[in-house]
Structure 1
Amino acid sequence: MLDALTVVVAVTALALAAWCGYAAYRDQPTKDWHFIGMAVVTALALIQLIVGVVQLARGEDARDGTVTFVVYLIGAFTAVPAAGFLSLTERTRWGSATVAAGAVVLAVLQVRLYDIWGG
């Protein structure tokens, strides 16, 4: 795994969480700009997924198991899009809070991915 990419994904996810959390605090639903932020974070998670799979294909091993590592990669990739989809169904402040929670989950998954890989 690329440690720098893991840090970038975690930091952007936390920035998205803060941004959407502030929108929830101000009683605002998710807006188009929030979805652009979600797309950026999701793109970074996709890059991480691709890098992780390529490293596994090259013969490198995750310390705590390949299956666990791949499952966490997929979970990290789907955390923010799932929260974004849920925020579309709840067009109140709770939609923004849902995205904030999903972004925090992504940041926590980054720490776990780092541990599983052998960090």
Structure 2
Amino acid sequence: MIEWFTWVQVGVAVLSGLLCLALGFAGRAPNDWSMGAALVVELLLVVQLVVAIVAPAVGNPPTGSLLEFYVYLVSAIILVPIAGFWALVERNRWSTVILGVACLAVAVMVFRMYQIWTVQVA
């Protein structure tokens, strides 16, 4: 993992989550802002997947369990589209809140992936 990219991902996921929560608690149904914020989080996760595949080949291997890392990464990649699908199927304020919770969960998962990659010793 790349440290600065990890912090960018965490920051974008937290900002997206807070935006979606604010919109949801304000009574707004999912719109371009909330879905776009979730899409940015998802795109960054896909870039992280590419980085995670390439990093060991260029001399940046994980120090923790590679299986645990990929379970977190795949779960995070799946979580956002599921929340987005839910938001599009059930268009009410709580769907926007669910998008926010999913983005905040991704922020926590990315931080945990960073810990697995750099801090833990297998």
Q: Is it true that 1:108 corresponds to 2:105 in the alignment? A: no
Aligned residue for 1:28, secondary structure, equals coil
Q: Is it true that 1:27 corresponds to 2:27 in the alignment? A: yes
Specify the code of the residue in structure 2 equivalent to 1:56. Answer: P
Separation of aligned partners in 1, 2:72 and 2:25:
30
TM-score by length of 1: 0.91
1:76 aligns with 76
Deviations 1:14-71 (A, max 9, x none): 1111111011111111102222222211111111111011113446432221111112
Asked if structure 2 preserves the Cα contact closer than 8 Å seen for 1:83 and 1:99, the reply is yes
2:63 aligns with 63
TM-score by length of 2: 0.89
Matches within 5 A, 1:38-57: 38-57=38-57
- Range with bigger deviation, 87-96 or 61-70: 61-70
Separation of aligned partners in 1, 2:72 and 2:53:
12
Work out the percentage of aligned pairs sharing the same amino acid.
31
Give unpaired runs (5+ residues) of structure 2: none
Matches within 5 A, 1:92-103: 92-103=92-103
Over the aligned positions, Cα root-mean-square deviation in angstroms equals 1.5
Specify the code of the residue in structure 1 equivalent to 2:78. Answer: T
Aligned residue for 1:30, secondary structure, equals coil
Deviations 1:63-115 (A, max 9, x none): 22111111212122222222111111221111001101100110000110011
